[in-house]
Structure 1
Amino acid sequence: MLASLSTMMSHGFKSSKQDFNFGPWRVTAARNHIMKSKDIERLAEEINMPSLPEMLFGDNVLRIQHTDGYGIEFNAIDALRRVNNMEDAVKVACAQEWQESRADSEHSKEVVRPYDWTYTTDYRGTLIGESIQMKATKTTERIDMEKLKAREQIMFFDEVLLFEDELHDHGVSMISVKIRVMPTSFFLLLRFFLRVDGVLIRINDTRLYHEAGKDFMLREFSTRESKVAELKNVPAALYTDPNEIAQHLTLKLTESERLELPAMQPQTAVNDVYQ
């Protein structure tokens, strides 16, 4: 089932690309180098932001693609396009100092102006397909998380980091995506995690679930956020662990969508199980 695995060494960094086929689907997980400064400068200008994350993996991607060509992928650049480039959404004592420290960076030649220096994004993935794409429609359906807790063989698992920034030693901002494929379904979690020390913790999650034989995927987006002052009864050791702190944060928003699969040709119809 593992279609290909290639690795290469360049500048001491191990790049990898892994493809996994299951039923009519293929998962591609690719990791590459941090973007070069000239590419970062070009991108910053394109999306009108004075600064970009310290570790930006512009070529990293996790893609789920049907044999008919449509699908969904998760990449850093599209995630950054969803950042507010006009407003400083989190105002803290260190913000001005932090921005000034970036003012002389190689990709910020102009006067630093307000923008969301936490890189908060509500990115939920990029629909792909040249001639046909999945269609997103709002729904009240929810992913059955209890069903996902059932013990089932994991045929494939991978995790890809898209970007990370330490906010000039004042916390962390990062987004990563991971997927697991079981014999009858697959489940994906895209997580944006923000910790601004002494100020707030925020988690934006996108969950994607598909059962073999169904003509849709379920995509759920949620925002959880709490000020650090509201977490007095939570051990500080949990602040750095997204999995642990998530359950202590206040749920601010939940949205659910069906990603409708286009009408499939008989030869590529989804089987009852992934083969």
Structure 2
Amino acid sequence: MEEESEVGRESDLKAAGAELLPDGRRGLHLKGWKIESLHRSILTSLAIQEWEEKLGTSHLPEMVFGESSLCLSHVDSGVKLHYNAFDALKGWKQEALPPVEVPAAAKWKFRSKPFQQVILDYDYTFTTPYCGSEAIEPNQGKITSENSCFDLQWEDCDERIDLAALSAKEPILFYDEVILYEDELADNGVSLLTAKVRVMPSCWFLLLRFWLRVDGVLMRLRDTRVYCAFNDKAKPVILRESCWREATIQSLSSKGFPTDAAVYGDPSHISQKLPIIKHKTQRLNIPG
């Protein structure tokens, strides 16, 4: 289901120097940034075939919002952060995790497609290591053709995202959530990738979340948080924090947590109870 975007009060937007995007587009211009979300319908059958060919697979999630995206562009530096389903599924294909074993093995052995049956010998959960896409856009601000060919690099760092700043009572100028893909695992759980953005007068904050629940078997949460405090410098300071959590239902049950899938409809309710598998904080290195 498409989430409703939220736009701040006109007085708050004006006080912060923000301008909404024209022509009914979702997003705004603020402190040298253009932040825009796109909500589009799921891929058509023809587009699905094209994606399968490009990705080298015969499997895609039930609902792929292939033209939906979240994009944050910094005009002076040309930096563009982009969150989309295609790049996320490229990550899924490359990681190629083994399929999760489920109790109802016979039921899960096959998935029907027109005129064929496909053995579930692939990662049907569509788990992705994707943390986002980044690029330098040519012909933006001060960017030149000489340095536009450089790849942006995320470097490990000890800095942490300022959670105190995020909890400060600031007006929200813009908020939106974009679903990139979703699969209900043949009514045996959920696999969901979403991107959320929140823009305040002092900063923007983004959460890219992959949430997996295989009923009776496993829960997996892969969160990527990205934060940027506004400044007047030509190069923004962008921090990214990735945290992967995972636990079997059996291990949670042994600690006294309920096993009923209905309890875990919202990953926020269980996230802190899942052990951390991987965690790192990085800073974007912008050339120039």
User: In structure 2, what is the equivalent of residue 234 of structure 1?
Assistant: 257
CA distance in 1, matches of 2:52, 2:105: 19
User: In structure 2, what is the equivalent of residue 127 of structure 1?
Assistant: 134
Q: Normalising to structure 1: TM-score of the pair? A: 0.84
Output aligned runs, 1:1-275, within 5 Å.
1-6=19-24, 17-68=25-76, 69-84=78-93, 86-94=96-104, 97-102=107-112, 104-105=113-114, 112=119, 114-130=121-137, 131=148, 134-213=152-231, 215-232=236-253, 233-235=256-258, 236=260, 237-263=262-288
Unaligned residue ranges in structure 2 (runs of 5+): 1-18, 138-147
Unaligned residue ranges in structure 1 (runs of 5+): 7-16, 264-275
Supply the RMSD in Å over aligned alpha carbons: 2.1
CA drift of 1:90 comes to 1.1
Pair 1:197–1:110, CA change in 2 (3 A)? closer
Amino acid at match of 2:243: S
CA drift of 1:42 comes to 1.9
CA contact (8 A) 2:195 2:208 kept: yes
CA distance in 2, matches of 1:156, 1:212: 15
Q: Secondary structure at the match of 1:80?
A: helix
CA drift of 1:136 comes to 1.4
CA distance in 1, matches of 2:194, 2:202: 24
Pair 1:137–1:228, CA change in 2 (3 A)? same
Q: Normalising to structure 2: TM-score of the pair? A: 0.80
Q: Secondary structure at the match of 1:202?
A: strand
CA contact (8 A) 1:50 1:112 kept: no
Q: Percent of aligned pairs with the same residue?
A: 39
CA drift of 1:99 comes to 5.0
Q: Secondary structure at the match of 1:74?
A: strand
CA contact (8 A) 2:91 2:130 kept: yes
Amino acid at match of 1:223: W
CA distance in 2, matches of 1:152, 1:145: 13
CA drift of 1:96 comes to 5.7
CA contact (8 A) 2:111 2:120 kept: no
CA distance in 1, matches of 2:182, 2:152: 29
CA contact (8 A) 2:110 2:118 kept: no
Q: Please say which of residues 63-72 and 194-203 is displaced more in the overlay.
A: 63-72
Post-superposition Cα deviations, 1:145-178, rounded to whole Å, max 9, x if no partner, equal 2331121111111110000000001100000010
